[in-house]
Amino acid sequence: MFGAITAIQWKWSRGPALLATLIGFLIPVLSLQSARRALLTADEFVYIMQQFSIGYSMLAAGAGLVVALAAWAHDHRGRHVYALSLPVARWRYALMRFGAGALFLLAPTAGVLAGSLVVAAMGAVPSGLHVYPVALTLRFAFASGVAYAIFFAISASTAKTAGVILGIIGAFLLAQTTLAMLAVRYDLLSSVSTLIFSPPGILSVFAGRWMLIDV
Amino acid sequence: MFRRSTMSRGARAALSVSLSVALGGAAQAQNRAALEQHIVSLAKQYVSADSAVRAYDDSIARLNSALDTATAGAFRLTTSRRIAPLARAAADKADRGLRDLFGASTTRLSSYRFVIRDSRNRGKLDTSRVEIALSDSTGREVLSGAANAEVEAVSRYLSSLALNRLTRTAGPDFNAWLQAQLPMDTMTAAEWSKARLVVVSTWASVGKGCYDGRAHDCGALVALESTNDPVMDWFDPRMRREAVRQHLRAFDNRSETRSECLGGDDASCATMLHRAGFNPLPIPLRGSLVRQALALGGTGAYERLVEANGDVPTRLAAAARVPADSVVRAWQSNIRFTRVPSDAMRSSIAAASLGWIVLCVGLSLRSSRWR
Amino acid sequence: MSLAIQTVGLRHKVASSFEIAHLDMAVPAGSVYGFLGPNGAGKTTVIRLLLGLLKPDGGAITVLGESMPQHYASVLARVGYVPERPHLYPSISIEEAIRLHRAFFPTWDQRWADELAGQFGLDVTRKLSALSKGENGKVMMLLALAQKPELLVLDEPTDGLDPVVRRDLLAALLDYVTDREATVLISSHLVHELERICDWIGLLDHGRMVTQMPMQEFKNGLKRLRVGKAPLALDNAPFTLLSRERTHASGEQWLVQGWNPDMQEYLVSAGVALREVVDLDLEDGFVELLRSSRDNHE
């Protein structure tokens, strides 16, 4: 069953997954080329690498999102009639869908690892700096996993649940606007952002430094 | 800063005559009138400012007259009655911390008085904040500020005020070399990594030399060693040209020398850099060297640092209880070899991510069959 | 008589103006049960309730001896389902659909699937999105049959299909039923089509079961009687009087169920003059039943 689901889901996800793999390979290589092109001091080199680091987090989020949507899109289109008519418990079906998508995310992760290892092998790093291919790849793997899990969960939910989630986001924005109109000096947006992006927040893996080359 | 001063008419006249004689000639008669007017104006400003200062001092004195005094270790306190327990607790805490670092040197604080009083906001008592000031022996407040009305916050502020006074005794040469407040702690691994980045990023060749293992270059990097001509000794032609391009942009922008330099003439670059007195050694590294010395010296290191007489290497050696060379070598070793795990991935991030993934998967598995 | 499907007091509210109300349904095992009803009667809703695709508001459902929707996974392994509209993934080919489907059904017969593909004239390399309505219908039937189910649930399987395709599908269905003694629940509003293949009939209207009985009994026992001098009330009638309407001064037209010729004696004894007995075909019977059911409810 898992094999059959994986084969079909790969058909839907392979385009984005392979594209993400290519991008994942290119970001480290391009970042090193950019840094080397200008004759920079070590701190400027680190700064350039940091500029590229946003690419990793965006790629992780994007790959997770697309693979998650691809997992459920065709079932949504058919109103889940086919999936619900199969002789398999709903939770098992969802788990198999999740597992298939998680496998596909290994491709862009491998791309990042390959690109990072190429950078490490090129040996063009200023003295005092070190290359961290494995650490970066692990972070990418976890980040894409988190993004995938979040969007998978939302996509797997019913329209009612999705409406509730949107309602919560809408209520939050309304609360922020109301506070501003009442001249209450409490930044709800900052508080929530801190909660989400600071460890152990749900998006904390995306925040911070994604450094392939660092001191 | 401002002293009470009135100039008598006679004195003003004498001054203007002196000036006109100095200037000489009929033409200066007009200048004399203008000068007289200017002097009168200045005098009025002096008087006005002096009155303001006196009024402020009087108000402070009135405020302080309603305060209690107390002593907590090296701290002589003047506090509002209401917050006296808070003030004493904070001062005790600050005193303990400073004593660990400065030992008997903290007795130098006895010539100061630390004032902690209620804070007012538009005349109303603000119980969440307190005002803290440092008064000299004449009762004049030389430093002041405010902090949250909590023991920890007040203690921290008292410590910083005390440190400001204590580090003044490390000597003007040392302070001029350090160009920062005396650090109170030792370096963490993450800070060594940042220091390493500063070392390898410095324009001067002594940075790379220090990182590559040359202790003499490390001494130059932290300005313990000097050279006759840093521009020629510490920079290669490429870096001299880059230095002119990036650091001397503000002036000589259109000069011929600059154009020649940027065109590849190293002598022009050297001329410009010599003229500008270019010697960009990274100042923050000196603080890390001091922290290395304190780490080596252990208990009483601060006391020895501030009590020692002599130049910077002498003070560092006294603090560390080893020769200055050894301090520099220990510092160099940490610069080269102390590493922290990469920022890119930490176990806390992995654990949090795994937790959230499991939660989201759990929610997915509970997705309803009913659509 | 064992039942393949049974519902007792089944309730489900679809919208404020429509609900399945206290539906009692019984599909005998091994029968071909025609599930009749006009458009919007609730046939598809009932089928979805039976298969656990919708959650009932009340009542009990038993399919192949197991309660639904609690045991949907084990029941669906024994059920072949052809829904009203294509429900497969359009972007995959027939071959891929077969591969996906067979992974879930241990009873899958690949040889027979290949046979059916040939019989239906399907090119298995073609994508489902490229198929016509009829071809999609054939694919769904192929998948449902090749898994060798004990119960086949077909929701308007021939709706909108041309006669050739309809014939192919029904032929395959009959072959299967003959070989396997499976139970078939087939819903349709095409009455004449069901007349050929069904041995039980259930008529649904506005979420209510109007009647369900063996086909023969339905066809033979449903008559229109033209009578005269009929009394206002009939006591102990041996048939079910579904409706009566006055046609002229002394004449009436009755729709009765459960008629047989011996019942003329009763009419004589009741003083009713029997003028004519009109046979109704399934479609006529269907229409008359619906009409009388709606009149009674008004």
How many residues are given for chain B? 371
Three-class DSSP category at B343: coil
Mean of per-residue pLDDT scores for chain A: 90
Give residue C258's identity as a one-letter amino acid code. Answer: G
The torsion angles phi and psi of C188, rounded to 5 degrees, stand at -165, 160
- Is the minimum CB–CB distance between A152 and chain B shorter than 8 Å? yes
Q: Report the DSSP beta bridge partners of residue B114.
A: B77, B134
Query: What pLDDT band is residue A48 in, cutting at 50, 70 and 90?
Result: confident
Q: What is the DSSP letter of B108?
A: G
Cβ distance of B369 and C52 shorter than 8 Å: yes
- Chain B residues in contact with C69 by the CB 8 A cut-off are 369
Q: What pLDDT, on a 0 to 100 scale, did the predictor assign at position B314? A: 93
Q: pLDDT at position B179, please?
A: 86
Cβ–Cβ < 8 Å for C118, C189 = no
Q: Where are the alpha helices (DSSP H) in chain B?
A: 9-23, 27-65, 84-102, 151-166, 172-178, 189-201, 205-212, 215-221, 230-233, 237-247, 256-263, 266-276, 284-297, 301-307, 312-320, 324-337, 347-365
pLDDT at residue A186, rounded to an integer: 77
Q: Chain C closest CA to B370's CA: distance in Å?
A: 6
A129 contact residues in B (CB cutoff 8 A): 197, 200
Show residues of chain A in contact with C53, CB under 8 Å: 81, 84-85
Give the pLDDT confidence score for residue C11 in this predicted structure.
94
pLDDT 10s digits, B274-331: 888 887 788 899 999 999 999 999 888 888 888 888 899 999 999 999 999 999 999 9
- Domains of chain C, residue spans: 3-206, 217-297
Residue whose structure tokens are 């309603």: B66
Domain boundaries in chain B?
Answer: 9-64, 68-170, 189-223+281-337
Q: What is the pLDDT of residues A117-172, one digit of tens each?
A: 999 998 788 888 889 999 999 999 999 999 999 999 999 988 788 788 888 888 88
Whether C54 has its CB under 8 Å from any CB of chain B: the answer is: yes
Please tell me whether the peptide bond between A108 and the residue prior to it is cis, using omega within 30 degrees of 0. no
Q: From B371, which residue of chain C is nearest by alpha-carbon distance?
A: C54
Per-block average pLDDT, block size 10, for chain C (298 residues)? 93 88 93 91 94 94 95 95 92 96 95 93 94 92 95 91 86 86 89 85 90 84 86 84 81 86 88 88 80 74
pLDDT at C284: 79
Q: Which of C152, C158, C149, C100 is nearest to C128 (CA)?
A: C100
In single-letter form, the type of residue at position C165 comes to V
What is residue A141's predicted lDDT score, i.e. its pLDDT?
A: 97
Instruction: Report pLDDT for B250.
Output: 59
pLDDT for C78 equals 96
Indicate the domain borders of chain A: 2-157+205-214
The dihedrals phi and psi of B32, each to the nearest 5 degrees, come to -60, -40
Residue with the two structure tokens 């922008």: B253
Q: Does the CB of C213 have a partner CB in chain B at under 8 Å?
A: no
Residue B95 CB coordination number (10 Å): 21
CA distance A13 to chain C (A): 12
In this predicted structure, what is the pLDDT of residue B77?
93
- Cα-Cα-Cα-Cα torsion A188, A191, A194, A200, nearest 10 degrees, comes to -120
* Count of residues making up chain A: 215
**CATH number belonging to domain B68-170:** 3.30.160
Instruction: Check residue B126 and give its pLDDT.
Output: 87
Which residues in chain B land under pLDDT 50? 1-6
* CA–CA gap between residue C186 and residue C183 (Å, rounded): 10
Amino acid C137: pLDDT: 92
- Which residues of chain A does C54 touch, with a Cβ-Cβ cutoff of 8 Å? none
Residue from C119, C187, C178, C107 nearest C144 by CA: C107
- Per-residue confidence (pLDDT) for residue B99, from 0 to 100: 83
pLDDT (average), residues A15-29: 96
Interface test with C, best of A82, A91, A97 (most C CBs within 10 A): A82
- Cβ pair B180, B293 in contact under 8 A: no
Instruction: Answer whether B369 sits within 8 Å of C54, measured CB to CB.
Output: no
Pairing of strands C240-248, C183-188: unpaired
B370 and C52 within 8 Å at the Cβ level: the answer is: no
Residues above pLDDT 70, as percent of chain A: 99
Q: Is B368 on the interface with C (CB under 8 A)?
A: no
Interface predicted TM-score (ipTM) = 0.91
Question: How much is the pLDDT for B3?
Answer: 38
Residues 6+ apart with CB under 8 A from B69: B76, B77, B78, B79
CA-closest candidate to residue B343, choices A139, A116, A197, A59: A139
Tokens of B17: 């005559």
The values of phi and psi at residue B175, to 5°, are -65, -35
Q: What whole-number distance in Å separates Cα of residue C95 and Cα of residue C99? A: 6
Chain C environment of A82 (Cβ under 8 Å): 87-89
Q: Which residues of C touch B368 (CB under 8 A)?
A: none
Provide the residue type at B88 as one letter: R
Q: CA separation (Å) from A40 to A43, B143, B202, B269, B335?
A: 8, 43, 11, 19, 20
Tokens matching residue B201: 């990023």
The reported pLDDT for the residue numbered B62 is 67
- How is chain C classified by DSSP, letter by letter? --EEEEEEEEEEEEETTEEEEEEEEEEETT-EEEEE--TTSSHHHHHHHHTTSS--SEEEEEETTEEETTTHHHHHTTEEEE-SS--S-TTSBHHHHHHHHHTT-TT--HHHHHHHHHHHT--TTSBGGGS-HHHHHHHHHHHHHHT--SEEEEESTTTT--HHHHHHHHHHHHHHHHHH--EEEEEES-HHHHHHH-SEEEEEETTEEEEEEEHHHHHHHEEEEEEES--S--SS-SSEEEEEEEEETTEEEEEEES--GGGHHHHHHTT-EEEEEEE--HHHHHHHHHHHHHHHH-
Please tell me the predicted confidence (pLDDT) of residue B249: 66
CA distance A174 to chain B (A): 26
| Sheet hosting strand C251-257, strand order edge to edge | C240-248, C251-257, C222-228, C273-279
Total length of chain C: 298
Strand duo C222-228 + C273-279: pairing: antiparallel
Work out how many CB contacts closer than 8 A connect B with C: 6
pLDDT at B20: 55
Residue C257 CA to residue C244 CA, distance in Å, equals: 12
pLDDT tens sequence across A70-115: 999 999 988 899 999 999 999 999 999 999 999 999 999 999 999 9
Tokens of B80: 């509002």
- CATH number for domain C3-206, candidates 3.40.50.720, 3.40.50.300, 3.40.309.10, 2.40.50.100: 3.40.50.300
The Cα of A132 is separated from the nearest Cα of chain B by a number of Å equal to 7
